[in-house]
Amino acid sequence: MSDKSKWRVHHPAAEMYAREHKQGQLSRREFLARATSLGIGATAAYGLIGLHAPAVRADGHGKMKGGTIRVQMSVRELKDTRTYDWSELGNETRGNLEYLVEYNNDGSFRPMLLDSWQINDDATVYTLNVRKGVKWDNGDPLTAQHIAFNIERWCEKDAEGNSMAGRMGTLIDESTQRVKAGVIKVMDDYTLMLELPDPDISLIAGFSDYPAAIVHPSYNPSDTMNAIGTGPYKLVQLDVGVKAVLERKPNHDWWGTAVYGGPHLDRIEYIDYGTEPSGWLAAFESEEIDMVHESVGEFIDVFDGLDLKKSEIVTMGTIVIRPNQLAEVEGRRPYADKRVRQALQMAVDNSVLLELGYGNRGSVAENHHIGPIHPEYAPLPKQVVDKKKAMELMQEAGMAGFEHEIMSIDDDWRRNTTDAAAAQLREAGFKVKRTVLPGSTFWNDWTKYPFSSTNWNGRPLGVQIWALAYRSGEAWNEFGWSNAEFDSLLKDALSIADADKRREIAAKGEALIQDEGVTIQPYWRSLYRHTTDKVVDAPMHVSFEHHHYKWGVTS
Amino acid sequence: MISFILRRLGVMALTAACLTFVVFFLTNLSPLLTNLAKTQADMRMSDAQVERWLGNRGYDRNIFVKYGEWVGVVPGYVIEGADGVIRARCQMPGQAIEDIAKYCGVLQGYWGRSTRFQEGVGDIIQTRLGLTGILMFWVMIVMVPAALILGVLAGMRESSKLDRSLSTFAIGTTATPEYVSGVILIALFASTATGLKWFKGTATSAMENPTFENFFLPVITIALYGTGYIARMTRASMAEVMTTQYIRTARLKGVAFHSIVIGHALRNALIAPFTVIMLQFPWLLNGVVIVEKIFNYKGVGWALVEAASNNDIELLLGISVVGVVLVLLTQLISDIGYVYLNPRISVS
């Protein structure tokens, strides 16, 4: 195994949990659940809190050979892999069409069809080493030419609905809408070089995304179901909206058995129970499924009441409640003043927002939009909530009498979280008005509202979000923030592939975003999945991926 | 008789044509087409991309031409799209563009292709109608005998305690729509809420292997609703028959009460319920939509909901034709059956 995949021994969040456990804020059980859900082995997790792991059975977590798992998931029609727009599509084909790298819950990337990769210091030259011994199910060996074929396919920007083109942006020649000449170099059968015109550290993350399934050069986009693949499972049945079935390929020697172990199951059935979770509940109670794709809303508590196993995973999905510094209200720009923004931030206790807005289903964030699962996350000293000082700052800025209007979309958690923030601001003595807009009109102007909340999905790298939303002049910069110092920090960070080196710069950026009071970013959301007791090693995944080869059932 | 049936079939074809055109017109309204393009290709498409997508697939043409294609009287389109790909209506998956048929419509036996399921509409309707057929069969098996027995028992002695209690039950079930009774039944008999997990609250597994356990609740949910209604009709009809002269004569002659009910009253009392039962078929199709959705049983009702929410034009058309045929066919059967049950009426 190569060390180039940026494995870390301990995840920072796990260390944080260990600290919390020692301070008595987390029970041992809760700590173990969280630490192991971050991908830390149970033994290592026990080690973190200074205990010895209890003896484990030697039969591989009690998984038996064979078996079936039935999963509730919406079964969607397949299309060209690069145009996938739902993670469910990736799950339907992942057993057959595998990926170059696999994104894991602890934020690490694990090499799959790649054996390892090297990135030079300014992230312009990628060397991809293709795993040897991987075979397509028609018997062909997987080679670097096949990978080059796939990357070229992703770079066809004019292909209808090709979302991989966005992830491969630096490789694409705008005039031809194809990959730039000379970017991809096939060195030999198992080595591939990518020479980029500009630095790009997000390519590996892009390779792990669900539209980046690796297909054979003979791939026919209109018959994705029967595509030639490298994986251990074959999609044998697909009835859109009804059912999809994956079965072990009978005569296929899968590369991963020797590398990562598995696959354990013979068969995986996806059964579509519609979008209404009460149907999933009925399915659990009728013992027709062993697992749901995702447990949502109040049904998390309902499923807890049944005899089910819950897995929780903190994601980097979040909400920001932010003032827009450029927005004009009654002829002035109330949020251009740094003191006003700092006062808003200082008056709001993020843990209260997590509790009232999202039922404590997540972990508290630090107002800078980089979190524990991002590889470059650097912990900063805790910010203090001081409502009195906040009011003083506001008075100093001469804005104590100003009425803040906070907008949010009309839904459950986003509205509640914004309500909680408004209540906190009122407690500090500020005048606050809440406006709730329906979903059909909210998004028309979401970047321009003077003060509003927006939900953000997680991305593997913290700097990806900064580049999208915090850099000056970006289309999604809803903060109206423009800061030359931050821009130059970000530019440096975006050309450092090594997460440890990038962390030093990220720490400065994080501090700057906090200090400027750019936004209130209260918490990271958790995702949940319930399974029956017999299901082993099928926890929730940060980006909803199903890694079938890890799954098993107890005997 | 033959000419009566032919006339009825003619009416059926005409109704189907009118109804499908209305459905066709409504599903081809421009906002719905935009919606279709977006759900099919990409939710974040720009307006220009939507136009191009629709143009490439022939959706932007005259509605009569498009309807004619569906019926099979206008040649299917062959369009070279703005993206250089040639698309043709009559091109079946895996078929070369050179050897496609000129016409492909309902008259040629081609029902089109579902955009939601990416499958031939004919195949979908066949599978889904089969599943719904099994459901309806069991509903009829439960509903008709239960309703007739209830109705006859209630009607043979009007205003008795038996009549009052059975009528209350019948009115109660008829007044409870399926979406209420379904949910209540699940909560009572299939959830941990009461702990009585006698049946299964979902019928998904019944599609492959219907058992008493997984099929009882959906069947009883639909059956209850119809039972009350038919029982009321039977009761009214039975009560009326029981007051007629010949029944009184029979009683005065000393015929036993059960022989009067079975031998004298029953046949006459069943004429009205027969029509009602036949009318229940189209009504069942109504209930089936709700019940299939609640119990996640993927029959024609479920397909209809999916087609409607995804603006799946050709599947909607296919299902409307099924609806028309079902309604008019059951009416035809009820009219003919009536003639045999009631000699005073003739069809010609």
Could you tell me which chain A residue has the CA closest to the CA of B206? Answer: A288
- Is residue A93 within 8 Å of residue A80, measured between CB atoms? no
Could you tell me which chain B residue has the CA closest to the CA of A77? Answer: B117
Number of H helices, E strands in chain A: 18, 21
Residue A467 has what DSSP assignment?
I
CB-nearest to B298 from A85, A242, A305 is A242
- Cβ of A286 within 8 Å of Cβ of B186? The answer is no
pLDDT tens across B55-81, in order? 888 888 889 999 998 988 888 888 887
Assigned architecture for domain A3-55+99-212: Alpha-Beta Complex (3.90)
The dihedral built from the CA positions of residue A363, A366, A367 and A373, taken in this order, carries a sign that is negative
Could you tell me which chain B residue has the CA closest to the CA of A303? Answer: B192
Least Cα distance to A300 among A317, A316, A280 occurs for A280
Least Cα distance to A131 among A145, A119, A116 occurs for A116
B200 bridge partner residues: none
* B120 reaches A (C-beta below 8 A): no
CB-nearest to B117 from A77, A161, A274 is A77
Amino acid identity, position A170: T
Residue B272 is predicted with a pLDDT of: 82
CA-CA distance, B104 to B233, in Å (whole number)? 47
CA-CA distance, A456 to A165, in Å (whole number)? 21
Q: Is the peptide bond before B145 cis (omega within 30 degrees of 0)?
A: no
Least Cα distance to B42 among A166, A100, A315 occurs for A166
Residue A411 is predicted with a pLDDT of: 78
CA-CA distance, B251 to B256, in Å (whole number)? 7
- Name every chain B residue with its beta carbon within 8 A of the beta carbon of A83: 42
- Is residue A94 within 8 Å of residue A231, measured between CB atoms? yes
- Cβ of A241 within 8 Å of Cβ of B205? The answer is no
Could you tell me which chain B residue has the CA closest to the CA of A72? Answer: B204
- Name every chain A residue with its beta carbon within 8 A of the beta carbon of B41: 160-161
CA-CA distance, B216 to B138, in Å (whole number)? 9
CA-CA distance, B235 to A212, in Å (whole number)? 67
- Is residue A154 within 8 Å of residue A168, measured between CB atoms? yes
Could you tell me which chain A residue has the CA closest to the CA of B213? Answer: A286
Interface test with A, best of B183, B200, B296, B309 (most A CBs within 10 A): B296
CA-CA distance, B220 to B212, in Å (whole number)? 11
pTM (two decimals): 0.79
Could you tell me which chain A residue has the CA closest to the CA of B207? Answer: A242
CA distance A310 to chain B (A): 18
Residue A359 is predicted with a pLDDT of: 87
A525: enclosing H helix or E strand: strand A523-531
CA-CA distance, B98 to B101, in Å (whole number)? 9
- Cβ of A282 within 8 Å of Cβ of B201? The answer is yes
Three-state SS for A329?
A: strand
Q: Give residue A448's Cα distance to chain centre.
A: 26
CA distance B97 to chain A (A): 15
* B128 reaches A (C-beta below 8 A): no
Over the Cα atoms of chain A, what is R_g? Answer: 24
CA-CA distance, A467 to A513, in Å (whole number)? 13
Sketch the domain layout of chain A as residue ranges.
Answer: 3-55+99-212, 314-526
Size of interface A-B (CB pairs under 8 A): 66
* B159 reaches A (C-beta below 8 A): no
Long-range contacts of residues A19-25, Cβ cutoff 8 Å, at least 24 apart: A21/A49, A22/A49
Query: Can you list the alpha helix ranges (DSSP code H) found in chain B?
Result: 2-27, 30-40, 47-56, 63-71, 121-156, 161-174, 178-189, 212-242, 245-252, 257-259, 266-269, 271-294, 300-309, 313-341
Give yes or no for residue B102 having a pLDDT over 80: yes
* A226 reaches B (C-beta below 8 A): no
* A164 reaches B (C-beta below 8 A): no
CA distance B117 to chain A (A): 5
- Is residue A112 within 8 Å of residue A204, measured between CB atoms? no
Low-confidence ranges of chain A (pLDDT < 70): 1-14, 24-47, 50-61, 440
Q: What's the token pair of residue A208?
A: 């792990």
CA-CA distance, B132 to A147, in Å (whole number)? 47
- Cβ of A286 within 8 Å of Cβ of B190? The answer is yes
- Cβ of B192 within 8 Å of Cβ of A282? The answer is no
CA distance A240 to chain B (A): 5
Residue A28 is predicted with a pLDDT of: 64
pLDDT band of residue B32 (cuts 50, 70, 90) is confident
* B179 reaches A (C-beta below 8 A): no
Over the Cα atoms of chain B, what is R_g? Answer: 25
3-state secondary structure A198-223: CCCCCHHHHHHCHHHCCCCCCCCHHH
- Cβ of A283 within 8 Å of Cβ of B296? The answer is yes
CA-CA distance, B77 to B103, in Å (whole number)? 9
Could you tell me which chain A residue has the CA closest to the CA of B298? Answer: A242
- Cβ of B43 within 8 Å of Cβ of A85? The answer is yes
- Cβ of A85 within 8 Å of Cβ of B117? The answer is no
Residue A57 is predicted with a pLDDT of: 37
The dihedral built from the CA positions of residue B82, B88, B89 and B95, taken in this order, carries a sign that is negative
- What Å distances lie between residue B44 and B38, B50, B242, CA to CA? 7, 10, 69
pLDDT tens across A235-284, in order? 999 988 889 999 999 989 999 998 898 899 999 999 998 888 888 998 99
pLDDT tens across B318-340, in order? 999 888 888 888 888 888 888 87
- Name every chain A residue with its beta carbon within 8 A of the beta carbon of B118: 77, 240
* B118 reaches A (C-beta below 8 A): yes
The complex's ipTM? 0.79
Could you tell me which chain A residue has the CA closest to the CA of B50? Answer: A160
* B197 reaches A (C-beta below 8 A): yes
A455 bridge partner residues: A319
Residue A264 is predicted with a pLDDT of: 92
A244 bridge partner residues: A238, A270
Residue B44 is predicted with a pLDDT of: 58
* B123 reaches A (C-beta below 8 A): no
Give yes or no for residue B217 having a pLDDT over 50: yes
Q: What's the token pair of residue A356?
A: 């009232």
Q: Which residue shows structure tokens 């590996």?
A: A204
* B42 reaches A (C-beta below 8 A): yes
- Cβ of A242 within 8 Å of Cβ of B53? The answer is no
* B116 reaches A (C-beta below 8 A): yes
CA-CA distance, B38 to B42, in Å (whole number)? 5
Q: What's the token pair of residue B295?
A: 């119990």
Domains of chain B: 2-108 (no CATH), 121-341 (1.10.3720.10)
- Cβ of A288 within 8 Å of Cβ of B186? The answer is no
- Name every chain B residue with its beta carbon within 8 A of the beta carbon of A286: 190, 200-202, 205, 214
Residue A30 is predicted with a pLDDT of: 61
- Cβ of A273 within 8 Å of Cβ of B202? The answer is yes
Residues 244-303 on A with a CB inside 8 Å of B are 271, 273-274, 279, 281-283, 285-288
- Cβ of B186 within 8 Å of Cβ of A282? The answer is yes
Residue A132 is predicted with a pLDDT of: 92
pLDDT tens across A529-552, in order? 999 999 999 999 988 999 999 999
Residue A479 is predicted with a pLDDT of: 93
Q: What's the token pair of residue A291?
A: 């697992």
CA-CA distance, A544 to A415, in Å (whole number)? 24
Three-state SS for B88?
A: strand
Three-state SS for A141?
A: strand
In CATH, the number for domain A314-526 is 3.10.105.10
Residue A181: count of CB within 10 angstroms of its CB: 8
